[in-house]
Amino acid sequence: MKNCPHCGGELGPKIGVELGGLSLPSGSGSGVSDADQKQIETPFLPKRPVRGKAREYSQAFEIAWKAYGRKEQKFEAFGVWLLRAKELGGEPQLLTLILKALKWQGPLWAVEGWKFAPYFERYLKRRKWDDEEPPAPTKVAQKLETWEERRQREQREETDRRARELADIERRTRIALGGGR
């Protein structure tokens, strides 16, 4: 039998190997006894360690992660976090900048349930904490009028309209009678 060039495991079919809870036939027709069948290793599972260590997130990252409303791709975000923290002189500086920016950015994104906020990884890649706060919308203080105030306003407007019409009729009458302008 050949060995796999990647994992070193044996290639080729093995008889009597249990795969996924199913057992291939063994016994008189297969040439492999039940005792031998248990000792045969599955050739499809390499005996290699998993690459890299499992990441432990820093306390500063966890604070920023909890403050940010979108919770996807945490592992990727932590990788970018480490790069940005190194650029800015440490995690406390990065955390301070992000929390300061999220004070005004968070409410904007929270209106839609953070639906349109970028993933935290992209937030970090794009340095969104450097964005400038938009100017506050100016609201004109507008007092709502009561139905009584509206009725009075409409009566004044009607009175003014009638007064203009009377003045116009009077002017035309003078012109028609030859009284001049």
Q: How does residue 140 score in pLDDT terms, banded at 50, 70 and 90?
A: low
Q: What is the mean pLDDT of residues 13-27?
A: 47
Tokens linked to 77: 């975000």
How far is the C-alpha of 98 from the C-alpha of 123, rounded, in Å?
A: 10
pTM given for the model = 0.49
pLDDT, greater one: 176 or 80: 80
Q: What is the pLDDT of residue 42?
A: 46
How far is the C-alpha of 77 from the C-alpha of 13, rounded, in Å?
A: 43
Q: What is the pLDDT of residue 105?
A: 93
Q: What is the mean pLDDT of residues 17-21?
A: 46
Helix (H) or strand (E) holding 18: strand 18-19
CA-based nearest residue to 104, from 66, 130, 85: 130
Q: What is the pLDDT of residue 83?
A: 95
Angle value at C-alpha 57, between 54 and 62, nearest 5 degrees: 150
Q: For residue 124, is pLDDT > 80?
A: yes
Lowest mean pLDDT among 69-83, 123-137, 142-156: 142-156
Q: What is the pLDDT of residue 12?
A: 59
Q: Mean of the per-residue pLDDT values for the chain?
A: 79
Q: For residue 57, is pLDDT > 60?
A: yes
Q: For residue 59, is pLDDT > 70?
A: yes
The domain segmentation of the chain, as residue ranges, is 1-48, 59-130
Q: What is the mean pLDDT of residues 68-92?
A: 94
In order, the DSSP letters of 20-56 are: TTEE---STTTS--HHHHHHPPPTTS---PPSSPPP-
- At 136 the three-state DSSP class reads coil
Q: What is the pLDDT of residue 49?
A: 55
CA-based nearest residue to 67, from 125, 129, 126: 129
pLDDT, greater one: 40 or 3: 3
